[in-house]
Structure 1
């Protein structure tokens, strides 16, 4: 049974960059997954009568913005088709629209019908961030954030952030397809951040993975005064990891996100591909 990967593409007010075409198809090819790329365009509601009187050109500006959103979506889909043909990756595409404030919710609902979602991540892109957060916390599926400043290749070394929690265990289960393909797995435990349920939890997880035939080892790390999410990424990169697996802490109430510290650190400064599971 082939994995089904979902790629939501946003175009307004901030758009995904062209880099998402290469990175998303690279992950799909690595996993042998079928990829569905969906442009979720912005539907901008008509202005009120009062606003129309104050800004007579507003309806025209709205039409222009929606047209620009559609054009950008067509461009991104064409780039993805080109990259999918090169790899090759089985690809389907779609186009839909949602009210500006509901784009993330629309993406989260769609993501529930797939095994995993892929998200381009660019510093300062508030639209892609809001969409990814909505999917992470609202879809019930794992989400991979792909830094658009990097060209993603083979995921040979997977790092796992382990604290013995439910969400960490869920993340490990959701990362199964990557773990089975990895040549090396490192299970990180932070020793100077918070009390752990089990002092030997990382080693217990590594032993369990080795029993499944995977090349796993445990590593205790000290992040000192560094933010947790940054420290995890720094240690992962220093050891040559290509992917960090971690539980996503947080919840959403009517589109207001309350994030855990490590989750927010990573979202604020993403340095390598990260698989989040909530």
Structure 2
């Protein structure tokens, strides 16, 4: 059965949008995976609050309308920006207007209808971070975070996998391998001094298993030293020439109160290359 891979990119436009460089980098990375990229830009509907004091000193209704108009205008601008990269069906852009309070849940729910989500990352924009967290932990689909520094490539032919033999690491591996181009290779990374592992030579065991499945693989054990686990994994992946790092996403949410694992927190705070998170 022939299938078409469909990637999903939600973009918030309120209070700010993520910078254009990150949006273009994410869209370009999605296109390197083949298949179709579907972009949804969300404009906000801000509820009007009735008050006898409203409008006496500040034109609150006018400010709300201006914010909604700016959000709608940003939707059109972003669609034009991304639409210039490729013609349909490679890239399709749609727009939805939604209550501000429902945006994060809507993006996570919509992502469930796609193979994966590709998300532009920003250190500066809190709204982009909140959207990433919502999709990673609420969609049930793999999500690839892409920084503006990501370099375009014709295809994804080298990935690194952060491997500790855990359930979430196995899921990340399973989500990442179908994205690897034919003839591509995998660098298996284990961190020896971060936490007790479930056995010895885990990287070599996985590399051997991948080789038996026809996938070129190379094991590497690294140490943290003075670095965080997120820094060590990303730096080694970049040093080895990997185009993407795949890892399990540790965390859960309750009323948007996120409790994250150390590696996940580090990636959210300082993303250095495209990272696939599976949760």
Match of 2:126? 126
Q: Which residue of 2 aligns with 1:254?
A: 255
Give the superposed CA RMSD.
1.8
Distance 1:143 1:57 in 2: 41
Query: Which sits farther off after the overlay, 96-105 or 67-76?
Result: 96-105
8 Å Cα contact 2:25/2:149 also seen in 1:
no
Change (3 A) 1:156 1:22: same
Number of residues of Structure 1 aligned to a counterpart in Structure 2: 276
1:216 maps onto 2:217 in alignment: yes
- Where 1:98 maps in the other structure, the secondary structure is strand
Q: TM-score, normalised by structure 2?
A: 0.93
Q: Structure 1 residues 134 and 182, CA, compared in 2 at 3 Å: closer, same or farther?
A: farther
Give, in whole Å, the separation in 2 of the partners of 1:63 and 1:128. Answer: 22
* Mean Cα deviation higher: 149-158 or 225-234: 149-158
Deviates more, 1:108-117 or 1:250-259: 250-259
| TM-score, normalised via structure 1 length | 0.93
Q: Report matched runs for 1:193-208 at 5 Å.
A: 193-208=194-209
Match of 2:37 in 1: 35
Choose which of 54, 77, 80 in structure 2 pairs with 1:78.
Answer: 80
Structure 2 unaligned blocks of 5 or more: none
1:242 shift after superposition: 1.2
| Alignment deviations for residues 125-167 of structure 1 (CA, whole Å, 9 cap, x no partner) | 1111100110000000000001023333243321100111111
Q: Post-superposition shift, 1:225?
A: 2.2
Indicate the structure with greater helix content: 1
SS in 1 for 2:84: helix
Q: CA deviation at 1:53?
A: 5.2
* Aligned match of 1:143: 143
Alpha-carbon distance between aligned partners in 2 of 1:266 and 1:54, rounded to the nearest angstrom: 46
How far apart, CA to CA, are the structure 2 residues paired with 1:15 and 1:182?
Answer: 37
Unmatched segments (≥5 aa) in structure 1: none
Give the Cα separation in 1 of the matches to 2:28 and 2:51: 48
Does the 8 Å CA contact 1:119/1:132 hold for their aligned counterparts?
A: yes
Cα distance between partner residues in 2 of 1:54 and 1:209: 69
